[in-house]
Structure 1
Amino acid sequence: MSLYLLFDVGNTRLKWAAVESTQQPSDRQKKLWAYSGSISSKSLASPEHRAELADYIAKTLPKPDAIGFTCVAGKGVIENLQSLFPQWSDISWKQLKGDSQYNSLRTLYQDPSKLGADRWAAVIGARALSNTNTLIINAGTATTIDLLSSNGVHYGGWILPGLELMHKSLEGNTAQLPLAVRDETSYGFGLSTNNAIISGCDAAQIGAIQYAIQLAKEMNHPVEKVWIDGGNAKILAAQMSKFKGQSSLTVESTETIEGLVLRGIWAWLLQNL
């Protein structure tokens, strides 16, 4: 049995997981990863933190047969990542990029090398799970929305500030607006400044998703499935559920999922061993 180690290095979090060759990226069980974890991406800048991370993983896992990764945090971060396991110098590190090839998929991006590796990995991960017309949402530091059709074509997508960036932008660029704090009443039209900010930013995100669903329908690729991943996934999914049945643009099958990028790295790695 082989073991594969996967890394997803984002702007905020570094996530990793280990999977066994007896598993498949299309598996849907809740406890998919044999081993997984997450830390701040900034930890890679510290030699001490890198040593702690490498020691922790090496003591927890047997030596993997291959390592796959994506990184959107820059070349220096990649170098730090690949320096983690000098004792495993013979292991092949395989980097998934925006222009990496994947069987059964192609992107219409004008320059695929400029496509975010995390977005492309999430598209691959979504493809591993279903062959339907799919909207892929990664709700993290930025919110990305991508359309993948049942014919395996990625029609591009959008990048907008994530919820926290929206909140901080209002706080940092206005004289009297505070940093908003989410509470249970933050829905609908805000009756306080705090809730007006929270609800307004939520509305902007949900509005973008609804608009994407509308555009996909006009393109004759009506969305049948929405996958939402990332730190704000549960927030967006909860807000979307409140519109269920109230709009002709509502998608019946909307699901949050953890590790969609890691799943995509895994599927791609299996084609490149």
Structure 2
Amino acid sequence: MSLYLFFDVGNTRLKWAAVESNQNPSTQQKKLWAYSGSINSKSLQSEEHRSELADYISKTLPKPTAIGFCCVAGQEAIFNLKSLFPQWNDLVWQQLNGDSPVPGMRSLYQESAKLGVDRWAALIGARALSNKNTLIVNAGTATTIDLLGSNGVHYGGWILPGLWLMQTSLASNTAQLELPTRTEHHGFGTCTNDAIIGGCDAAQVGAILYGIQQAKKFKLPIEKIWLDGGNAKILANEIQKINLPIKKIIEVTEGLVLRGVWSWLRQNP
């Protein structure tokens, strides 16, 4: 069995996945990855944890045909990642960057090298899944919202604090607001806890709705919205409460960044 192995090194989580080389990144199915997993990204800083991770992966799957990765956690994380498998030192680690060219796609970012590679990878992953006018929302530590046209052009996007950052900033920078506990809420909060939770949710959902309106200025009516990241299901649940057509075009997915690395690697064997 011939495998491709991918890594997505984020600020919070390190994720990996492997697929058979004859699979296609345009495939949509629940059980997509032959192997997958994730750990805290800080584990790369520990020699002991790196050894455990390398041992687990190398014993779980056969030697891959190729390894692709993207990283937003800095050069030290890249160095530590590449040190995992000395027994596979004949393999070249292929790194996706924010300015890596992709056939049929381009970004209008002023300095493409400064486009976050996680955003570029998610855009590539979304493009593999459809050729529609799309908003790609990655709701993690930060929430990113990017506009991708059916023509393959990335028109830019936004970066805003994720739900946790929004909530903790209120607790850290005010005298009387505590870190809230997520509860079921509807509309305006009638207690401080629900007011914070609901307000932060509304800010995230509002940004998505605003993105739909902004896309119209480019004459790009949004046909698909991909929600990925640790808070994707929370935002999807909040959007389902809104009586708007947007509910029909939203889909929660997992691993858009890994899918993007996969799609890029297939085009750059």
Q: TM-score range by the shorter chain?
A: over 0.9
Q: Is the contact between residue 125 and residue 259 of structure 2 (CA under 8 Å) also seen in structure 1? A: yes
Find the counterpart in structure 2 of residue 65 from structure 1.
65
Find the counterpart in structure 2 of residue 199 from structure 1.
198
Output aligned runs, 1:87-236, within 5 Å. Answer: 87-184=87-184, 186-236=185-235
Query: Partner amino acid for 2:266?
Result: L
Q: Does 1:55 align with 2:55?
A: yes
Give CA deviations for 1:224-263 in whole Å, capped at 9, x if unaligned: 0000000000001111111143x7xx36210000000000
Give CA deviations for 1:39-82 in whole Å, capped at 9, x if unaligned: 00010000000000000000000000111001000000100000
Q: Does 1:272 align with 2:268?
A: yes
Find the counterpart in structure 1 of residue 4 from structure 2.
4
Displacement of 1:205: 0.4
Find the counterpart in structure 2 of residue 16 from structure 1.
16
Query: Partner amino acid for 2:195?
Result: A
In 2, the alpha carbon distance for the partners of 1:229 and 1:244 equals 22
Q: Is the contact between residue 225 and residue 251 of structure 1 (CA under 8 Å) also seen in structure 2? A: no
Residue segments in structure 2 that go unaligned for 5+ positions in a row: none
Output aligned runs, 1:73-88, within 5 Å. Answer: 73-88=73-88
In 2, the alpha carbon distance for the partners of 1:110 and 1:251 equals 32
DSSP-derived class of the 1:189 partner = coil
> Bigger shift: 133-142 or 236-245?
236-245
In 2, the alpha carbon distance for the partners of 1:87 and 1:169 equals 45
Displacement of 1:21: 1.4
Displacement of 1:92: 1.1
In structure 2, relative to structure 1, the CA distance for the partners of 1:70 and 1:99 (3 Å cut) is same
Structure 1 residue ranges (4+ consecutive) displaced by more than 6 angstroms after TM superposition: none
CA RMSD, aligned part only?
0.9
In 2, the alpha carbon distance for the partners of 1:80 and 1:133 equals 38
In 1, the alpha carbon distance for the partners of 2:122 and 2:171 equals 31
Q: Is the contact between residue 136 and residue 147 of structure 2 (CA under 8 Å) also seen in structure 1? A: yes
Query: Partner amino acid for 1:61?
Result: L
Q: Does 1:255 align with 2:255?
A: no
Displacement of 1:2: 2.2
In 2, the alpha carbon distance for the partners of 1:167 and 1:131 equals 35
DSSP-derived class of the 1:122 partner = helix
Q: Is the contact between residue 188 and residue 199 of structure 1 (CA under 8 Å) also seen in structure 2? A: yes
Query: Partner amino acid for 2:215?
Result: A
Find the counterpart in structure 2 of residue 243 from structure 1.
242
Question: How many pairs does the alignment contain?
Answer: 269
In 2, the alpha carbon distance for the partners of 1:205 and 1:145 equals 10
DSSP-derived class of the 1:135 partner = strand
Q: Is the contact between residue 3 and residue 19 of structure 2 (CA under 8 Å) also seen in structure 1? A: yes
Q: TM-score, normalised by structure 2?
A: 0.98
Q: Is the contact between residue 224 and residue 252 of structure 1 (CA under 8 Å) also seen in structure 2? A: no
Q: Is the contact between residue 50 and residue 84 of structure 1 (CA under 8 Å) also seen in structure 2? A: yes
Displacement of 1:218: 2.3
Displacement of 1:179: 0.3
Displacement of 1:19: 0.5
Find the counterpart in structure 2 of residue 43 from structure 1.
43
Give CA deviations for 1:201-241 in whole Å, capped at 9, x if unaligned: 00000110000000101220010000000000000111111
Query: Partner amino acid for 2:55?
Result: D
Q: Is the contact between residue 123 and residue 136 of structure 2 (CA under 8 Å) also seen in structure 1? A: yes
In 2, the alpha carbon distance for the partners of 1:117 and 1:189 equals 37
